[in-house]
Chains A and B, each alone.
Chain A
Amino acid sequence: MTEIPKEEMLLKCPSTCAGCGSLLALRYILKAAGKDTVLVIPACCNSVIQGVYPYMLHTVPVYNIAFAAAAACASGMSEAFRAVGKKTNVIVYAGDGGTADIGIQALSGALERGEDFLYICYDNEAYGNTGMQRSGATPLGAITTTTPNGKTVNKKDLDRIIEAHNLPYQATACASYPADIYNKVKKALSIPGPKFIHILAPCPPGWRTPSEKTVEIGKMAVKSGIWVLWEKEYDKFTISAPSRAAMKKPSPVVDYLKAQGRFRKVDDATAAKIQAQVDKNLKKIAAEAAYSEENA
């Protein structure tokens, strides 16, 4: 059993929508990171969630920075801390837009340079802050305010892009599995160099789901295999327990789609296409895990 500290690092006044997956995830990230941590936040929902000056939600310092700039800012901050001998954790907490779209250049640069910080992308699969426009991470078929008939192209495979930088630690997670998040953040922060965690964060207004269903929807994503939990430490690739269980007999993706208003314009052909993509991806991931085990 994972022992998660009782102490709360977030005060009880977030300006989130009810049932926000990104805040749920952050709660456990900060529990794992502890007090010697600075958060770097580019423009996103979490710029708002933290409250309005002079009030503050977090019990660690938060540095807000321009949308495209988070990874570069964290690079400077981390280099400066290390230069004076401080171990302080530098954690970027950015949305999928700030990561997969506008921020990807600075992120790629920082990963290539081997900067020592943890970059966490919480993925609500759209631009939440500005009112749910499509992002590069919006999945095929999802309705957003700039794809009113559903997105016609696929979700960008952010993890493969990050992976190409060969960083020492990389993982995926989901807001519905707090212990998994907690463990992954702990492990990431124990490793020097760049670390990246990609967290699926259900978003009730964006996904058009009831606020109380956040955890359930996230679990449906994992159980269907449309979202797979894994981690990669140096070359060791492992599928995390919830996904290992799910992959034995994944539930139909269409159940996941049907549970969300944003997919209501998905027709049968598109649903079949999404299912085929999921099947293919699951095979790829299983093969990767098997290969990693054989060559361990």
Chain B
Amino acid sequence: MSDKLVMSTGNKAMAAAVKMVKPTVVAAYPITPQTEVIEAIAEYVDGGEMTARYIPVESEHSAMTACIGASITGVRVFTATSSHGLLYMHEMLHWAAGARLPIVMGQINRTLAPGWNIWAEHSDALSQRDTGWLQVYVSTVQEAYDATIMAFRIAEDNRVLLPVMINMDGFLLSHIMQPFEMTEPGDFVPQISLPHKIDVNDPKGYGAMSPSDIHFTFRHDMEKAMRASRTVIAETEAAFAKRFGRSYAPIEEYLCDDADVVIVAMGTLGKEAEVAADLLRKEGVKAGVMRIRWLRPFPVDMKIEGKDLVVIDRDYSFGFGGVVAGEIQARYPQAKIASVIAGLGGQEVTYEDMANFVRTRKVGTEFWFGIPSEEQ
């Protein structure tokens, strides 16, 4: 293993990871704050550092579709997008997952218009929850790099064969420089072998008319693959830790064992929350943090017995509530949740703000950070 310590933005680290795993085709369309990823890849390809075919398509709908076309031939495929680009892909996200294609996509989380706004928010990815894509949320440049490498191995595992979306907070991580270890993955990501790849010597029809009962089976198979992906993720993260020394879990816990109150958040908010927990501990509050990394498949073993949860959602499902809070409540009906809506449109949320959410929490209520209490 030859690790190099380098400085990089989240975007460039993701591009570097993609280069390392040598996809055959990259099809992409620019959108802020993802552009750096695909510009870096375009440079690698033009400069001869990467032998992939780079297809500069005319829209995201075509980006995802070109990835689908490439993937079904059995090669490794990557794309990246954000926000409106992701939404414009929505139809094809279903096509990719339904066709069981292990496409890996970098997804830089950003708000949606109107009111054009380019800053971080999770609404874009969360509104794609039901497409059959695996979703991981990262919180550091190192994690962006590592998760990208692991994503290929997970997606391409024959027990999974579902696409993976790596979510990274726009600007807060995509454009932030941090040092990270640039690990050569070597054979950590095995050669891709797609069992249902197109083969002219064994002609098959793909996506043909399917009667209800068969269609039902296809969908159930997808869910079985989602469940199996929990095992594959655990194996992959364990193998990664063993080989490269950096360990990850579907939920990263910080000071949770004896905690009375736990902040739950995704992405950079989840990392910042660790500082809030330290601060609260100094005040004698037994606080901890659960940073949800894999939102799909959803974690099945959250240890929340006897704890208050302060769930910070950088998103909102109108007419319902914070998405992550709602997901936890649905899966763990006994959960005692104080829901906080914060960080929409890139609103700044500091560890001090988070500590305050904990201090003033009211379980069973929803609090919009920055909106006066009489308007809540």
The reply to whether chain A is a binding partner of chain B is: yes
Q: Which chain A residues have a beta carbon within 8 Å of chain B's beta carbons?
A: 43, 47-48, 53, 64, 66-68, 100-102, 104, 127, 129-131, 133-134, 136, 145-149
Give Cα distance in the complex from A145 to B43, angstroms: 8
Q: Which chain B residues have a beta carbon within 8 Å of chain A's beta carbons?
A: 29-32, 35, 38-39, 42-43, 46-47, 54, 56, 58-61, 84, 88, 113-116
Which residue on chain B has the smallest CB distance to residue A102? B59
Give every chain B residue within 8 A of A146 (Cβ-Cβ).
30, 38-39, 42, 54, 56
Give every chain A residue within 8 A of B56 (Cβ-Cβ).
133-134, 146-147
Give every chain A residue within 8 A of B61 (Cβ-Cβ).
68
Q: Which of A67, A68, A102, A146 has the most CB of B within 10 A?
A: A146
Give every chain B residue within 8 A of A148 (Cβ-Cβ).
42-43, 46-47
Give Cα distance in the complex from A147 to B39, angstroms: 9
Contact present for A68 and B35 (CB under 8 Å): no
> Of A48, A66, A133, A147, which contacts B113 at CB under 8 A?
A66
Give every chain B residue within 8 A of A101 (Cβ-Cβ).
58-59
Closest chain A CB from B85 CB (angstroms): 9
5 closest A-B pairs by CB: A101-B58, A102-B59, A146-B42, A133-B30, A130-B30
Q: Which of B30, B47, B54, B61 has the most CB of A within 10 A?
A: B30
Which residue on chain A has the smallest CB distance to residue B39? A145
Give Cα distance in the complex from A244 to B109, angstroms: 51
Contact present for B39 and A53 (CB under 8 Å): no
A127 and B116 in contact, given A67-B84, A102-B58 (Cβ under 8 angstroms) = no
Give Cα distance in the complex from A237 to B178, angstroms: 59
Known contacts A102-B60, A130-B35; 18 additional CB pairs below 8 A are A47-B116, A64-B113, A64-B114, A66-B84, A68-B59, A68-B61, A101-B58, A102-B58, A102-B59, A102-B88, A130-B30, A130-B32, A133-B35, A133-B39, A134-B56, A146-B56, A148-B42, A148-B43
Which residue on chain A has the smallest CB distance to residue B112? A66
Give every chain A residue within 8 A of B46 (Cβ-Cβ).
147-149
Give Cα distance in the complex from A146 to B59, angstroms: 14
Give every chain B residue within 8 A of A133 (Cβ-Cβ).
30, 35, 38-39, 56
Closest chain A CB from B113 CB (angstroms): 7
